[in-house]
Amino acid sequence: MERKCLTVEKREYVFLKRMLSISGYTEDQDVLQSLKILESGLATAVVLDEKDMPPSIIRLNSLVSIASDNNWERNVQLVIPSERDCKQNKISILTPMGAAIFGHSEGDAVKWEYLLGGHKLFIKKVLQKGIKKGLDLSIY
């Protein structure tokens, strides 16, 4: 299912809006594309309190199992930019894939656009065991 709007937790929404306001000066094309995706998604997002967030929604620190329309599968954790680590499959929200999946839900299909092309991603499973309770997003 392809959803029309994102579902975002309130603190993460505020964090991302702050990041958008200070990150527009980058010359990195992937980051610029990701910022545009996030800005567009946040403009129509459903913003919920922590207690109301469905566990199937991809958030910061969520563990996600995804499959591509060209037959590969991958398990990733969506993280803030300073915590990205390709060897541990931790992808930044400021990558095209991270921006594409954020705020979507298990069972969704999303378009993943990047500089060399694009694919459709299928979100197979979302786990929240990676969520850091009390994560202080105000310091970023």
Per-residue pLDDT of 36-57, as tens digits, reads 889 999 999 999 999 999 999 9
Per-residue pLDDT of 11-34, as tens digits, reads 999 999 998 887 766 778 788 888
- The arithmetic mean of pLDDT across residues 82-100, rounded, is 93
- The arithmetic mean of pLDDT across residues 81-99, rounded, is 93
Asked, for residue 2, whether it belongs to a domain, the answer is: no
Asked, for residue 54, whether it belongs to a domain, the answer is: yes
> In a 3-state reduction of DSSP, which class is residue 13?
helix
Asked, for residue 139, whether it belongs to a domain, the answer is: no
Count of domains observed in the chain: 1
Per-residue burial over 28-52, b = 16 or more CB atoms within 10 Å of its CB, e = otherwise: eebbebbbebbeebbeebebeeeee
User: φ, ψ for residue 98 (rounded to 5)?
Assistant: -60, -45
Asked, for residue 108, whether it belongs to a domain, the answer is: yes
- The arithmetic mean of pLDDT across residues 72-93, rounded, is 94
- The arithmetic mean of pLDDT across residues 66-72, rounded, is 92
For 39, the domain range is 7-131
Asked, for residue 140, whether it belongs to a domain, the answer is: no
> In a 3-state reduction of DSSP, which class is residue 63?
strand
- Per cent of the chain over pLDDT 90 is 62
- The arithmetic mean of pLDDT across residues 5-15, rounded, is 95
- CATH number of residue 63's parent domain: 3.10.50.30
Asked, for residue 16, whether it belongs to a domain, the answer is: yes
Asked, for residue 55, whether it belongs to a domain, the answer is: yes
- The arithmetic mean of pLDDT across residues 69-94, rounded, is 93
Asked, for residue 1, whether it belongs to a domain, the answer is: no
pLDDT band at 2 (very low <50, low <70, confident <90, very high): low
Angle value at C-alpha 23, between 21 and 27, nearest 5 degrees = 140
Range with the lowest mean pLDDT among 5-9, 37-41, 125-129, 135-139? 135-139
